[in-house]
A and B are shown apart, each in its own frame.
Chain A
Amino acid sequence: DQQVKQNSPSLSVQEGRISILNCDYTNSMFDYFLWYKKYPAEGPTFLISISSIKDKNEDGRFTVFLNKSAKHLSLHIVPSQPGDSAVYFCAAIINNNDMRFGAGTRLTVKP
């Protein structure tokens, strides 16, 4: 039973445009959400996080939005760059240590 879902396995955008990656979750007990970026043959690297008591967090080109009533979060990348091409994982934390990941979305940014 996957509690964190990323329903789009892939996304392709043009350089300079906005990339929007979506994530849905089912467990209302999650209290922290994170986005990770992963290149082939490397471990995931942290991008940005948001507490469940907030609805937006911004860090440079990356903004995460949280809609608790819809159990939905999204990652916006503006402007998208070719170096952003990677697999993006959404993750949610429950009970301090138990982190659940989505299946990932492969983003391709075309020059």
Chain B
Amino acid sequence: NAGVTQTPKFQVLKTGQSMTLQCAQDMNHNSMYWYRQDPGMGLRLIYYSASEGTTDKGEVPNGYNVSRLNKREFSLRLESAAPSQTSVYFCASIRERRGNEQFFGPGTRLTVL
């Protein structure tokens, strides 16, 4: 039982490049989330998926797209990376939608030059 896994762990991009951050969970959870963490800002919700086939915008969705490929996988795509997207990205999952704890992956540290 690996919990929530994320790939890659580190990535450096040039402005304008695209990339996809991968996330998978093996806990049979329905809901999955993508956050970014910036210094002094805490974690901010980018997108979430309450169930397979559905996605919704969070607090800071601009510049990102997501895909809930199946119940296990939830990917985050940057179509044209910008330096403002330099951050640490965390994926999380939760079994129930309301009130239960979220399980977080180890994070992806992304630098956009």
Query: A residues touching B (Cβ–Cβ < 8 Å)?
Result: 2, 4, 6, 9, 31-32, 34, 36, 41-46, 49, 51, 89, 91, 93, 96-104
Query: Bound complex: CA of A43 vs CA of B92, how far in Å?
Result: 9
Spot the interface stretch: B13-21, B38-46, B66-74, B76-84. Answer: B38-46
Query: Bound complex: CA of A53 vs CA of B70, how far in Å?
Result: 35
Whether the pair B104, A51 counts as a contact (CB closer than 8 A) is: no
Query: Bound complex: CA of A87 vs CA of B90, how far in Å?
Result: 16
Nearest A residue to B48, CB-CB: A97
Chain B contact-residue range equals 20 to 34
Q: Chain A contacts of B4 at CB under 8 A?
A: 43
B75 within 8 Å of A by Cβ? no
Given contacts A43-B90, A43-B92, A44-B90, contact A97 B97 (CB under 8 A): yes
Q: Could you jot down 19 A-B contacts, CB within 8 Å?
A: A2-B42, A6-B42, A31-B99, A32-B99, A42-B106, A43-B90, A43-B92, A44-B43, A45-B104, A51-B99, A89-B42, A97-B31, A97-B50, A97-B56, A97-B97, A99-B33, A100-B59, A101-B43, A103-B42
Q: Chain B contacts of A46 at CB under 8 A?
A: 101-103
Whether the pair A49, B42 counts as a contact (CB closer than 8 A) is: no
Within 8 A of A (CB), among B1-21: 4
Q: Chain A contacts of B31 at CB under 8 A?
A: 97
Nearest A residue to B99, CB-CB: A32
Q: Chain A contacts of B97 at CB under 8 A?
A: 96-97
Given contacts A32-B99, A93-B98, A96-B98, contact A101 B44 (CB under 8 A): yes
Given contacts A4-B42, A89-B42, A98-B45, contact A43 B107 (CB under 8 A): yes
Given contacts A41-B106, A98-B58, contact A34 B101 (CB under 8 A): yes
